[in-house]
Structure 1
Amino acid sequence: MPAPTEPTASGHSRYGVVSIAFHWTIAALIIGIIFYGWWMEGVRDAAFAGEAEFSTVSSVYNWHKTIGLTILVLSLGRLAWRLKHPVPPLPAHMSTLERGLARFTHIAFYVIMIGVPLAGYVTASAFGDAFPIKLFDALTLPKLPVPQTEGFQETAGSLHGASAWVIFGVLALHVAGALKHHILDRDGVLTRMIPGLNVPKQDGPR
């Protein structure tokens, strides 16, 4: 049987330690890799301008790939853990729309956490042997059997790069919902993922 969720001081159940660790580790890596990717493009442009060595660019890209694959592995682990452990129930006062948005953001995050790293793997594979995929800039990984034409490379690269804005959009929706629960609803939902967080006192009975 799945392990029960842990009750908070306010009476709401919360995510367990493993789920919380997955959540914040993956969140930090995703946000970090986006800004790293933008910096990485600057290094690439510097190489085109003759201001950086190809080996430096290759190393920078390999660390981006390493972080991306780490996110993929952790996300698959989180999904496996999620399937065996119950999610704390949503507050009864939430409307059908709010419940739908909550479900949408959770599904969207799983699509992002798994789909975007896979898209990056596809993009890296499209460039053939000229740009090997090296885990930790050392262990060469096999490439996926995808087209290696210039058109496919540009399309895959553009879609992978645009995914950063999709991530920020879903993240903004997620954060807005969490803050609404904490500041306006004052229902303790945020404490499910941040144990020990003080819940603002309610003005009256709900």
Structure 2
Amino acid sequence: MLRNSESGFGTVTIVLHWTIALLILGLMLIGFVMRRTEIDPALQFSLYQWHKSFGFTAFGLALLRTIWWLAERTPPPVPGLRPLEHAAARETHRMLIILGLLTPLAGWAVASASTLNIPSFYFDILVIPHLPLPQSESSEAFWAFAHALLAYVMLALVAIHAAAALYHQFVRGDAVLIRMLRSGLRSSNAGAADDGRETHEAVAGRK
């Protein structure tokens, strides 16, 4: 099932969710390593280019995910989820979608505002043009701070999001995590409703 339904998430949503999540974690790791001053300059340059390439990929997928989220239906919450929990999950999801766009945009701004004026090679296939921003040390410092701040906020939200999913899976025992792993997973309430409807139809058919 490619699209979302009333019973669960579709394959497109699930693939985008986990691909972007892996990209975010990978970008965080590369970001920490590439800023270490003791590493080889050639390796550092390569890491910066890899970071930018994966960052542009994450931005493109985040943009696609945003369009998909706006166009697609959202499955109802799993049975037993409290209204406050549902609201918190919804707002966290919205914040992650926004940060998924703003964080790579800020990174793009860092490269664009840098006085070094180093081109952004996208996997050595093409050059991504700079944004029309003034190149100065103050502008680069501002966007570098914004990029780092947004990245840390997103990392914190990802950690909270993951912890909540694990809590629901192993403590509450509901399908919050499972339905983001399996396309078209039906909730227990939906299954019960279908079973009741089928039973009713079977009884009616005998009359």
Shorter-chain TM-score tier: 0.7 to 0.9
Structure of higher CA gyration radius? 2
Q: How many residues align?
A: 182
Q: Give the equivalent residue in structure 2 for 1:38.
A: 32
The secondary structure found in structure 1 opposite 2:121 is: strand
Q: Give the equivalent residue in structure 2 for 1:75.
A: 62
* Alpha-carbon spacing, 1:95–1:66, altered in 2? closer, same or farther (3 Å): same
- 1-side partners of 2:4 and 2:28: how far apart? 35
Partners of 1:14 and 1:191 within 8 A in 2: no
* Alpha-carbon spacing, 1:3–1:34, altered in 2? closer, same or farther (3 Å): closer
The equivalent position to 2:72 in structure 1, one of 67, 71, 85, is 85
Segments of structure 2 that go 5 or more residues without pairing to the other structure are: 184-207
Superposed, 1:1-206 pairs within 5 Å as 3=3, 5=5, 13-42=7-36, 45-46=37-38, 51-53=40-42, 56-128=43-115, 130-195=117-182
- 2-side partners of 1:135 and 1:188: how far apart? 39
- 2-side partners of 1:65 and 1:115: how far apart? 14
- 2-side partners of 1:3 and 1:25: how far apart? 17
Q: Give the C-alpha shift of residue 183 in structure 1.
A: 2.3
- 1-side partners of 2:35 and 2:177: how far apart? 36
Asked which structure has the greater RCO (Cα within 8 Å, sep 6+), the reply is 2
The letter of the residue matching 2:87 is: G
User: What percentage of aligned pairs have identical amino acids?
Assistant: 36
Once superposed, what is the RMSD of the aligned Cα atoms?
A: 2.2
Segments of structure 1 that go 5 or more residues without pairing to the other structure are: 7-12, 197-206
The letter of the residue matching 2:82 is: S
Partners of 2:62 and 2:97 within 8 A in 1: yes
Greater Cα offset, 83-92 or 104-113: 83-92
- 1-side partners of 2:13 and 2:55: how far apart? 20
Q: Give the C-alpha shift of residue 95 in structure 1.
A: 2.4
- 1-side partners of 2:171 and 2:47: how far apart? 43
Partners of 1:125 and 1:145 within 8 A in 2: yes
